[in-house]
Structure 1
Amino acid sequence: MGIIGDAFKKLFGLLWEVIKWIGDLLYRLFKPVIDVIMNVIEVIFALIDAFLYFLYNIGLVVTKLFILIFQTAKLLWSLVVGFGKTLASLTYIPHSPGNGFSETIGKLFKIAEPMQLNSVAYILLFIIWLFTAVSAIKLVSSIRVGGD
């Protein structure tokens, strides 16, 4: 290569060593600052992530609570409708004589009216209905999910 080639080789080798030394110096100077900035950014991202997860869980709880209240109201409404239908069906109106017993049952009701047994019958039918409703609720609540 010669003298000029060796001189340029040493010169550029020296320049390369100076550039590497400056790069290493800058790396050592700014590494703690960059590490602190990265740690702060990681903490901020973790806080944002936790806040969004918290909002997500609040949304889940609110929807489950709404579904629970809605289903409870639906069940209560069906009980009220059933109670109303039961009370509406408590009165007996004898129809046309379709069999031999209709006339006899009609006579029994005419005889029972002066004794005012209608009130007792209504109370007994209400007690039977209430007992049936409570038993149905107990039966439904005893069923576990999964068939256990």
Structure 2
Amino acid sequence: MRLNPAPTLLAALMLCSLGACRRAGQVGGGAEDLVSKVLFTATGSYDAQADLKERIPGGLRRTTWTTKPPLPVQKIVLQYDSDARPLAWFLNLSGAQFTAQALAGDGAAQVDTPQGQGWRPAKGTRLEDVLILPTGQDSMNILTRSFITQNEPSLLEAFRAR
């Protein structure tokens, strides 16, 4: 009697691939880290659970979360350019359970702006093209370079300093 090795081989391959998935998740911190959630929020992944979506002048849109924000905060207000959402957005976070410095991460540079001191995450990080401005004890604004270029040009100097 001759056995078919295909089922055994398939089972072995599946076990090996599951181990690789587990290691990759451990190394990268998984998809649920704070930076990922900020980026997913800004680019629309959590829009379905927003409390309010509206159009505002200048080709911008605003999305607000108060009931069930996707980040550990009390309220999120997101403004974005509807033509370039992944690149041009502004988040206002209120009641945050983390600091601007913690979000900026290791290697972040502190910068002076007309709106006060802020943080520039390190080059090579997922937030390297944003400016994080604390606006109070537990609140902050997070703005992309593209959003600043279009709507807040006085803040552009923060991207020159490192």
TM-score (normalizing by structure 1): 0.26
Larger helix proportion of the pair: 1
